[in-house]
Amino acid sequence: MTFLTYLISGLALGSVYAIIALGYTMVYGIAKMLNFAHGDIIMAGGYVAFYAFSKFGLPSYLCIILSIAVSTIIGVIIERLAYKPLRQASSLSVLITAIGVSYFLQNAAQLMFGSDTKIFPAMLTEGSLKMFNGQLTISYLTIITIVTCIIIMVGLTAFINKTKIGKAMRACAEDKGAAQLMGINVDTTISVTFAIGSGLAAIAAVLLCSTYPSLSPTLGSMPGIKAFTAAVFGGIGSIPGALLGGMLLGVIENLTKAYISTQLSDAIVFTVLIIVLLIKPTGLLGKKENVKV
């Protein structure tokens, strides 16, 4: 039964990674860049939710909506100001800029909110579900996290495959020039991508901070790197890949923590990643780059 508990909490952690990984993978797929600052959007989303709930006493659902809205706006502004002028630049310049944006956000947060760790309130739910005569306990938060992840995956897949703007996003991912010849505004499409990724980061922030309730300006770095790893693990650019990568990463991390070593868990996670990439360089579900831009 304890194994099952670890497995399920691993899936919940993996769900958070998967939701964050979507942001990396969609931006990479469409803008062909690594948005290193994505993790820091999580941090921003966390602070917005925290202040909305603790200081202004807004109801949870409003806190979440506000957090999504602010994160989305920050994500779109960052793209417009920092990345758009570099559309023609080398990917190294873009990466360095993204790292700069990441430091900027962390320092701005330190300036505005202080560097002390704040305790994130239980704004979603408390309590848990007991099964098998109390042998298996799953918190409602765990259930909410996993269900949210599934809803997002299904919704996003439908959006990408069925809606006009979703199809335009896929067209841009394949061939920006050809997309422009269809009359697609590539800049708008990239903004939409950043908006979606950043909005999802805010959802991940609320789930993550509710599970590990401490809030600090560097909060986003570690989950950001893990989720990026998950995206690469699953095959960067692929939405199902983000789900698979995130889930596997979460489960592996939790099980190694439980049965091998807490200190070594990150090392083990990254070792698994390196092995997978040696065997399959495009990640588990990644396609070969058939269209080079």
Q: Which residues bind another protein (CB under 8 A)?
A: 164, 167-168, 170-171, 174-175, 177-186, 290-291
Q: At residue 5, what is the residue type?
A: T
Tokens matching residue 127:
């309590």
Distance CA 107, CA 124 (A): 28
- Please report how close the Cβ of residue 80 comes to another protein at its closest, in angstroms: 16
Q: Are 91 and 26 in contact (CB under 8 A)?
A: no
- Please report how close the Cβ of residue 239 comes to another protein at its closest, in angstroms: 12
Comparing CB distances to another protein, the nearer of 58 and 186 is 186
Comparing CB distances to another protein, the nearer of 6 and 159 is 159
Distance CA 248, CA 246 (A): 6
Comparing CB distances to another protein, the nearer of 55 and 292 is 292
How many residues appear in the chain?
Answer: 293
- Please report how close the Cβ of residue 160 comes to another protein at its closest, in angstroms: 11
Tokens matching residue 132:
């098998």
3-state secondary structure of 261: coil
Which residues face 128 on adjacent strands? Answer: 139
Comparing CB distances to another protein, the nearer of 150 and 182 is 182
Separate counts of helices (H) and strands (E) for the chain: 11, 4
The distance of Cα 238 from the centroid of its chain, to the nearest Å, equals: 14
Tokens matching residue 266:
């990150």
- Please report how close the Cβ of residue 20 comes to another protein at its closest, in angstroms: 25
Residue 66: partners with Cβ closer than 8 Å, 6 or more residues away: 48, 49, 52, 58
Q: Smallest Cα–Cα separation from 72: which of 104, 89, 95, 48?
A: 48
- Please report how close the Cβ of residue 188 comes to another protein at its closest, in angstroms: 9
Comparing CB distances to another protein, the nearer of 84 and 167 is 167
Tokens matching residue 173:
């991912």
Which residue's entry shows tokens 């807490």? 262
Distance CA 231, CA 243 (A): 8
Comparing CB distances to another protein, the nearer of 138 and 186 is 186
Comparing CB distances to another protein, the nearer of 18 and 172 is 172
Comparing CB distances to another protein, the nearer of 184 and 285 is 184
- Please report how close the Cβ of residue 191 comes to another protein at its closest, in angstroms: 14
Distance CA 45, CA 57 (A): 16
- Please report how close the Cβ of residue 169 comes to another protein at its closest, in angstroms: 11
Distance CA 68, CA 23 (A): 13
- Please report how close the Cβ of residue 187 comes to another protein at its closest, in angstroms: 8
